[in-house]
Amino acid sequence: MSSHELKRLSKFLSFLLRHGADEFHLALDEQGFADFDKVWAIVQRRYRGKFSKEDLEPILAGELDGKKRLELVDGQIRAIYGHNRRVKQVAYEPAEPPAILYHGTHAHVIEKIQESGLLPMERQYVHLSVDQERAFTVARRYTRDPIMLEVRAQEAQAAGHVFFQPDNNHFLCEAIPAEFITFPS
């Protein structure tokens, strides 16, 4: 299967499990999980049997672009990030962050971040990357010239902010106060 086709499947699954469950009459629990067999039946109807379950392996492993977006647990599948507001708050186990994490953003919001810190906005969590390259790649989806912010994550954690690690390259936090952010000069 070509990487283009696998990306197409990955995007559809992310849409289905993040925002499109109602459109496809798919039940999600409070943590965003759906029955895998029901999800797979929707995929098979939509793509007329084009994909096999083996095609899911690189998608579930996050091999397409380095970001794990889905997880399969005990016959249940969910999107790890970006659920609509119907999913309460996806729960993760707290995790020990590295000393520094990175967040790419728009130049025009730097002043607001300096005042209010990093907030989840329309998301459930602030998304942080373990390296600048990944943060830059993520930010490039929203702006041509991202500004890189360094988050002193271990300091924030010591002050009581809880971090979660849904995959090897990313951490989540409900908010990051400006005092823990190093802004470019």
Answer yes or no: is pLDDT of 175 > 60.
Answer: yes
Are residues 104 and 178 located together in one domain of the fold? yes
User: Over the stretch 122-165, which tens digit does the pLDDT of each residue have?
Assistant: 777 899 999 999 899 888 888 899 999 999 999 999 999 999 99
User: Over the stretch 47-105, which tens digit does the pLDDT of each residue have?
Assistant: 998 999 999 999 988 887 767 889 899 999 998 876 554 555 667 889 999 999 999 99
Task: Kindly state the DSSP code that residue 25 receives in the 8-state scheme.
Answer: T
CATH of the domain at 11: 1.10.10.970
Answer yes or no: is pLDDT of 114 > 60.
Answer: yes
Task: Kindly state the DSSP code that residue 146 receives in the 8-state scheme.
Answer: P
Q: What is the tally of structural domains in the chain?
A: 2
Query: Quick one: tokens of 155?
Result: 């300091």
For residue 58, the SS3 value is helix
Are residues 75 and 114 located together in one domain of the fold? no
CATH of the domain at 158: 3.20.170.30
If phi over 0 gives left and psi between -120 and 50 gives alpha, with beta otherwise, what is residue 25?
A: left
Pairing of strands 163-167, 170-173: antiparallel
The crossing angle, in degrees rounded to 10, of helices 36-47 and 3-18 is 130
DSSP alpha helix (H) spans, 1-74: 3-18, 36-47, 56-60
Containing structural domain, residue 170: 100-182
Residue 49: the pLDDT is: 86
**89 domain residue, yes or no:** no
